[in-house]
Amino acid sequence: MNQLTSLSELTVADVKAILASARELKDRFLAGDRPPLLRGRVLTMIFEKPSLRTRNSFEAAITHLGGGSTFLSTKDAGLDGREALADVARVLGSYADALVLRTFSQKLIEEFARHAGCPVINGLSDERHPCQALTDAFTVQEVFGDIRGRKLVFVGDGNNVARSLSIAAAMLEFSFTLCGPRDYWLEESLLADLRAKHADADLVQTEDVPAAVCDADVIYTDVWASMGQESEADQRKNAFAPYQVNAALMAQAPIECRFMHDLPAKRGLEVTDEVLDGPQSLAFQQAENRMHLAKGLLAWLLR
């Protein structure tokens, strides 16, 4: 049984199979085909943080594939202390074919996965956002034809999204540069582990914007203060101000460079309207692709 608590749990072949499954299901969907591959299957989602894309893309995905979904807040699920986590996981896992969890704690998702008895998908934790990174790899492949050898520069915070993208980069052999203030870089231990596991991993961290973006295929950013970091918003706003993705920053990259953002965006902070709504932006294609990736993932996990 496969889990997706982090991309590191998958093999490169698994990742490629999920991307291929998503590609096939998106093509079929665009041709008007919604194959009932998961008829009668149940997906249960337990979310501790808000979500537009993750929740709704999984709900649409399982519905298109002939299954159904249920949704619980962590309080509804009794994870606020009403019941032991292992008991909740065991009970919900006996009703559902797969579970999606969105939590603060990565460990909570991993602990849940140990007891659920069915596939558990990480729908975002403070540490990881694997479904987003898979979707982003899918989107880059869709736009550029291939992802191998491309250069993605993540301008901003070394957060959950950046962490999962760095893992995807090592696995799919694209170059990943985190460009932002040193205090907000990714843990060197994560990059060292990835380099040890994937000999060709090209993972760089720098504070130097012009040097990072001058040969970028993709400039990616995300909010400066993630969910749960609201009290640090002012401090982060100051630290990240030189790293706003605006027209001047995009002008330092090649003309064909594209812009990506996982959304939700704080317009006027990490990205300006002119970039997010401009011709180089893939943000809304990424958001749409969350559903196709969710389908590909569910079909692969429950095959």
Site for ligand NVA in 210-229 (CB under 6 A): 222-223, 226-227
CA atoms within 13 A on the CB side of 178: 28
Binding-residue pattern over the window 249 to 278 for ligand CP, x denoting contact by CB under 6 A: -------------xxx--------------
Binding characters for ligand CP, 43-72, by CB under 6 A (x = yes): --------xxxx------------------
Q: Quick one: which H or E segment has residue 111? A: helix 106-116
Q: How far is CA 20 from CA 61, 169, 215, 246, in A?
A: 16, 17, 28, 33
For tokens 């995905």, name the residue: 61
Tokens 């990480």 belong to residue: 122
247 backbone dihedrals φ, ψ, rounded to 5°: -60, -35
Q: Are the C-beta atoms of 243 and 185 separated by less than 8 Å?
A: no
Does 135 bind ligand NVA (CB under 6 A)? Our answer is no
Structural tokens at position 295? 């389908």
Say how many residues touch ligand CP, by CB under 6 A.
Answer: 9
Structure tokens of 15? 């990742």
- Comparing CB distances to ligand NVA, the nearer of 11 and 105 is 105
Least distance to ligand CP, CB of residue 59, Å: 11
Q: Does 132 help bind ligand CP (rule: CB under 6 A)? A: yes
Strand, coil or helix: what is 56? helix
Looking at 160, 166, 175, 177, which residue binds ligand NVA (CB under 6 A)? 160
Residue 124 in the binding site for ligand CP (CB under 6 A): yes
Distances (CA, A) of 47 to 51, 77, 99, 105, 298: 8, 9, 11, 12, 18
* Nearer CB in complex with ligand CP: 212/289: 289
DSSP state, residue 227 = T
User: Least distance to ligand CP from the beta carbon of 138, Å?
Assistant: 14
**DSSP type of residue 265:** -
Distance CA 11, CA 9 (A): 7
Q: Is 26 in the site for ligand CP (CB under 6 A)?
A: no
Give the shortest CB-33-to-ligand CP separation in angstroms: 26
Choosing among ligand CP, ligand NVA, none, which partner's interface includes residue 223 (Cβ < 5 to 8 Å by kind)?
ligand NVA
Which of ligand NVA, ligand CP, none binds 281 (CB below 5-8 Å, type-dependent)?
Answer: none
If one asks whether residue 169 binds ligand NVA (CB under 6 A), the answer comes out as no
233 binds ligand CP (CB under 6 A): no
Interaction between residue 161 and ligand NVA (CB under 6 A): yes
Cis, peptide link before residue 264, omega less than 30° from 0: yes
Is residue 244 within 8 Å of 270, Cβ to Cβ? yes
Q: Which is nearer to ligand CP, 68 or 264 (CB)?
A: 264
Q: Amino acid identity of 189? A: S
Q: Which is nearer to ligand CP, 129 or 150 (CB)?
A: 129
CB of 226 to ligand NVA, least distance (A): 3
Residue 193: strand pairing partners: none
- How far apart are CB 235 and ligand NVA at their closest, in Å? 16
Q: What are the residues binding ligand CP (CB under 6 A)?
A: 51-54, 124, 132, 262-264
Q: What are the residues binding ligand NVA (CB under 6 A)?
A: 124, 159-161, 222-223, 226-227, 262
